[in-house]
A and B are shown apart, each in its own frame.
Chain A
Amino acid sequence: MAAKLAVFKLASCDGCQLTLLDCEDELLALAGEVEIAHFPEASSAIAPGPYDLSLVEGSITTPEDAERVHTIRTDSRHLVTIGACATAGGIQALRNFADVEEYRRTVYAHPEYISTLATSTPVSTHVDVDFELRGCPVERRQLIEVITAFLAGRKPDVPDHSVCFECKRRGTVCVTVAHGTPCLGPVTHAGCGALCPAYHRGCFGCFSPSGSVNLPALIPLLRRDGLDEDAVGRFLHTFNAAAFDEELSK
């Protein structure tokens, strides 16, 4: 029997699951190998669990989702989180450093209609996760690799060196050394193929901190390249704010 694949969405922009639909060359082949059992964005045929592999996009921001993620876990033989939202809380985790009551009043005329948690947390804070794939959004080839690895019962080949390695491999001139552009490449997880430096800008960390990094050592370099204290703070506080904070406090 074909393995059952499920895709779930929590608080997110849909970009990571769209990346699966953006695998135009592989999509029909993949659909021939697995049963797409739960993927509301792509299909109105929804089969009940248990699922062999569940991909979860998005972070936990409501009491309902905090409950729902336990059901998803129970229903899934393997649970893989995809994207910065699911692995680090995403952009919506900026609320973790603010007064959410005040946010609610700022955005909504009737804050009392809005049910939300004061934090946006990764899925792994709530349930066990078998693998975390980073990126905002995840990278297409890495996503296919993770799915095929789980279906084949092997470990995904997703390296955790930094973006710097990918710049070297791509032959991109270092933007920090050559142009003094502030760049988080040295401390950011590889995966994007060192996209930003190839487009003449510094990395802003959308793939989360990489495994073994020395983030504090990079801060003086960011200062040298023209960022004041506030700007350094904002630079680290975008799509993976909580993960970078954790690195800093290590």
Chain B
Amino acid sequence: MKAFAVLWKKELTGYFFSPIAYVVAVFFLASIGLIFSLLVSILAEGPAGISIMNLLFGSPFYWMSMLVLAPVLTMRLLAEEKKSGTIETLLTAPITDAQVVLAKFLGAICFYAFLWLPTGLFLLILRYFSVDMAPLDLGAVAGGYLGALLVGMLYLSIGLLCSALTSNQIIAAVCSFAVLLILFLAGLVEQIARDSAVRAVSSYISSYVHMLEFSRGVIDSRPIVFYLSSTALVLFATVKVVESRTWK
């Protein structure tokens, strides 16, 4: 367990020394900040009956940055270790393969959560300027952040799996971007499909629909189960891929 904690800490601090992580953080914050300032300019023009969180998480900017963020944050995790050969050292250390994968995953999740921290300032700005009107709906805010965390878990785990499959970071990033894009678009099929079964499946896996619901403050057990179970499945597959190094 101690070895796991050490590894996790090393993974997390690794982000803070990685230039690409800073590039991602700047890109992410700039796009979220842009959405937010657009929102503020709309609300300053006149009252609007729209939910702030809904607009934030339904915006194409948000989804664009999510689809880029997850592959870039995870691409080097296993691919780099494979390429440089350090994976052999890591896997012969007194720690199981599952612990290695989990430590890397948790490191990525923690860094992802860290990226969201500055957005707390946005809420303070809204609170400061919204006078004589309904204060911020904290239920919707909490739902929005919960949804962002769940979606982030699945997306990062997919990135990790792609990173385990190859020793080339660029291939890992492109693969996970492609998978995430397909997953995301499959969720949008709901809007155009005619067949009710296709629509039901599509809306069940649609991150876009889920985020809109979470950011309205609607907490549903189905998307939560979907994200937790599919993240677990992807991580399990990742462990199996890592184990395949020893099949000799």
Do A and B interact with each other, yes or no? no
